[in-house]
Amino acid sequence: MIRLCRVPRPPLSEFVALLWLFERVAPHARERVLPTGSIELVINLKDEIDRSFDGVIVGPQSRFFMLDTSRPTLVVGAHFRPGGALPFFALPMHELSDRHLPLEACWGRQAAELRERLLEAETGEAKLLLLECALLRLMKRTVSRHAAIGHAVVAFRQGLRRVGDVVAETGISQRRFIRLFSEEVGLSPKAFCRIRRFQQAVSVLHRAEVPKLADIALACGYFDQPHMIHDFQDFAGMTPTQYLSRRSALKNHVPQ
Please write the tens of the pLDDT for every residue from 34-77: 999 999 999 999 876 556 689 999 999 999 999 988 777 899 99
Distance CA 60, CA 58 (A): 7
83: how many CB neighbours lie within 10 A of its CB? Answer: 24
pLDDT at 26 over 90: no
Mean pLDDT of the region 212-228 = 96
* Cα separation values, 256 from 112, 141, 237, 246, Å: 32, 42, 12, 8
d(CA 156, CA 158): 6
Res. 159: pLDDT tops 80: no
- CA–CA distance, 14 with 141 (Å, rounded to integer): 12
Query: What does the mean pLDDT of the chain come to?
Result: 92
Q: How confident is the model at residue 142 (pLDDT cuts 50, 70, 90)?
A: low
Per DSSP bridges, beta strands 40-44 and 30-33 are: unpaired
Residue 31 has pLDDT above 60, yes or no: yes
Section 117-132 average pLDDT: 96
Q: Which of 248, 250, 222, 249 is nearest to 234 (CA)?
A: 222
- What integer pLDDT is reported at residue 181 of this predicted model? 97
Give Cα 209 to chain centroid, integer Å.
26
Q: Which amino acid is at 156?
A: F
Cα separation, 105 vs 200, in Å, equals 33
Average pLDDT over residues 110-122: 96
At 65-108, the pLDDT tens digits run 999 887 778 999 999 999 999 999 989 999 999 999 999 999 99
Question: What pTM was computed for the model?
Answer: 0.92
Say yes or no to pLDDT of 24 above 60: yes
- The pLDDT > 90 percentage for the chain reads 80
DSSP character for 14? Answer: G
Alpha carbon separation from 126 to 19, 52, 115 (Å, rounded)? 12, 24, 13
pLDDT beyond 80 at 160: no
Beta bridge partners of 80: 16
CA 12 to chain centre: 16
**Bond before 11 cis per omega within 30 degrees:** yes
Give the integer Cα–Cα distance in Å for 232 and 72. Answer: 29
CA distance 113 to 126: 16
Do the Cβ atoms of 19 and 41 come closer than 8 Å?
Answer: no
